[in-house]
Amino acid sequence: MDRMRAAILSIGDELVLGQNLDTNSQWLADRLLERSIEAAEHRTIADDRTAIAASIRQLALRADLLIITGGLGPTADDLTRHALGDVLTPGEALERDPAATVHLEAIYARRPTPMPPSNRVQTMRPRGTAFLPNPHGTAMGIAGALGGCRVYCLPGPPREMQPMFRDHVAPRLELRGEATVLRAAAVHQVGMGESHAAELLGEMMARTSDPLVGTTVKDAIVTARVRASGPAERAERSVAETVAEIERRWQPYAFGRDEVTLPNAVGQLLRERGLTLATAESCTGGLLGSLIVSAAGSSDYYRGGWIAYDSAMKTSQLGVPARLLDQHGAVSEAVARAMAEGARQAAGTSLAAAITGIAGPGGATGAKPVGLVFIAVSTSAGDTSATSVRRFEFRGDREQVRDRSAQCALQMIRFALLGVADDIALLWETPHATRTEGAARR
């Protein structure tokens, strides 16, 4: 039996005119590929009822599965449900769904304003279709069929679309008894550049190799993606072996597989060891803390921290000696060390991380360029403490400098927990890491 062929249709003036970037189509195609379904076409069109209906007709002829995102909102330019009706039940009005009405009214019962009349349209769907629940918004999805093609309409916002796909579309995409399946996995690392990381994989990345291995970069994270096809058992074994080999070659930078984030990986280590963490941030302004608490259950190990954005906060809250600030400046190894040690002691935690730097565009001086950041991790165990500081010169704009700083701080916390030596360099690090040890002052 042939594999299922899919088409993905994105709807929105803001997408087709280039005002917003559509990331849904790629995300969906990637999820489909994991289920051995190949997308044959993505198409993006405007909020135009006639054009939407025409595209639905054309794509349904060529595909077994059509996924449509966008155009399910309550406003006059949300036309997907109407266009679907034009195709499935031409000439008929849309039907009101009683369960959808209950769902919408329950949402508005929790809001301070009554439901605007325009939202009523979100309870309407073409005859013969079914709603798909949306736990995160008012735009329910619609499931239907046109000839041999199954059609799923999902809302455009990724935070609504993605869980709806996972919970209500994916389970309906059973593999139809195929002998050949596709299996995919990912390995993530922070701290090596993409080309260096790719070189370590060497022959594994040849276009003809099986499994197929490729690398992608998103922000500071480099990911190796592994895909194998064939009989299920063989494909699974092949992916598992390849993933293990990538992790071996990417030691100690690889922090997790698939959905594991660096904050999850760090959190898991802290939880296993019963350790606690605090943060002290200057240029990142709370981003590190925000990443740490992105992991559910972070209150098990994260006590909190300080955003010591100006020098007075560094002195008054973290006990950084004014002398250090005067002598070395706020962006210095000595101040990063004092911030981390001060945070660890004030919060009474086993570890603390501190970041101080120049995110730009302003703030640079002759000796201190934009992108200069010092990151310190202070640990205590029993009667001793140790603090490592690394110096970085990050490239990129304000947002990139801040993001890379926070990611490197997380990786440094992970390295500290795993006992990775300070001379294992991180990308963008400039010599050289320093380490001080002493009696813990807790």
Window 152 to 191, contacts with its own copies (CB under 8 A): 157, 159, 163, 184, 186
Nearer to its own copies, 84 or 339 (CB): 339
Which of 283, 324, 370, 389 binds its own copies (CB under 8 A)? It is: 283
The two three-digit tokens of residue 14, written as one number:
């803001």
Binding segment (CB under 8 A) for its own copies, from list 81-89, 145-153, 216-224, 411-419: 216-224
CB of 341 to its own copies, least distance (A): 17
If DSSP codes are grouped into helix, strand and coil, which group holds residue 126? Answer: coil
- Of 93-112, binders to its own copies (CB under 8 A) are 107, 110-112
Number of neighbours of residue 297 by Cβ within 10 angstroms: 12
Axis-axis angle for helices 49-62, 80-88 (nearest 10):
60
Q: Which residue's entry shows tokens 């619609």?
A: 142
Does the footprint of its own copies cover residue 207 (CB under 8 A)? yes
Q: Provide the minimum distance between the beta carbon of 378 and its own copies in the complex, in angstroms, as a whole number.
A: 17
Between 296 and 438, whose beta carbon lies closer to its own copies?
A: 296
The sign of the CA dihedral 414, 419, 422, 427 is: negative
* Residue 77 or 178 with smaller CB distance to its own copies: 77
Q: Which residues, 54 to 93, sit near its own copies by CB under 8 A?
A: 73-77
Compute the chain's Rg from CA coordinates.
Answer: 26
Q: Which residues pair with 11 in a beta bridge?
A: 45
Binding to its own copies in span 247-276, by CB under 8 A: none
For its own copies, the binding residue among 307, 364, 386, 420 (CB under 8 A) is 307
Residue among 38, 92, 105, 272 that touches its own copies (CB under 8 A): 38
Closest CA to 193 of 222, 232, 234: 222
Burial of 315 (0-12, 13-18, 19+ CB in 10 A): middle
Judged by CB under 8 A, the chain residues 312 through 341 that form the site for its own copies are 312-313, 316-317
If DSSP codes are grouped into helix, strand and coil, which group holds residue 331?
coil
Q: Between residues 18 and 439, which has the closer beta carbon with respect to its own copies?
A: 18
Sole window of 80-88, 302-310, 333-341, 411-419 interacting with its own copies (rule: CB under 8 A): 302-310
Distance separating alpha carbons of residues 261 and 280, to the nearest angstrom: 21
Q: Which is nearer to its own copies, 312 or 384 (CB)?
A: 312
Tokens of 35: 């289920």
Q: Mask 113-152, x = binds its own copies (CB under 8 A)?
A: x--xxxx---------------xxxx--------------
Instruction: Give the nearer residue to its own copies in terms of CB position, either 1 or 208.
Output: 208
What is the smallest separation between the CB atom of 128 and its own copies, expressed in angstroms? 26
* Residue 187: Cβ-neighbour burial (10 angstroms; 0-12, 13-18, 19+): buried
Q: How many CB atoms lie within 10 A of CB 391?
A: 20
Whole-angstrom Cα distance, residue 441 to residue 342? 10
Q: Which is nearer to its own copies, 285 or 321 (CB)?
A: 285
Q: Are 140 and 146 in contact, with CB atoms under 8 Å apart?
A: no
Which of the residues 351 through 410 are near its own copies (CB under 8 A)?
359-363, 393, 395-400, 402
Q: How many other β-carbons are positioned within 10 Å of the β-carbon of residue 82?
A: 16
CB of 418: closest distance to its own copies in angstroms? Answer: 20
Nearest-approach distance from CB 276 to its own copies, in angstroms = 9
For the beta carbon of residue 171, count every other beta carbon within 10 angstroms.
Answer: 8
Among 98, 431, 439, 441, binds its own copies (CB under 8 A): 431
For residue 72, the SS3 value is coil
Which residues in 407-426 contact its own copies (CB under 8 A)? Answer: 425
Query: With respect to its own copies, which residue has the nearer C-beta, 362 or 439?
Result: 362
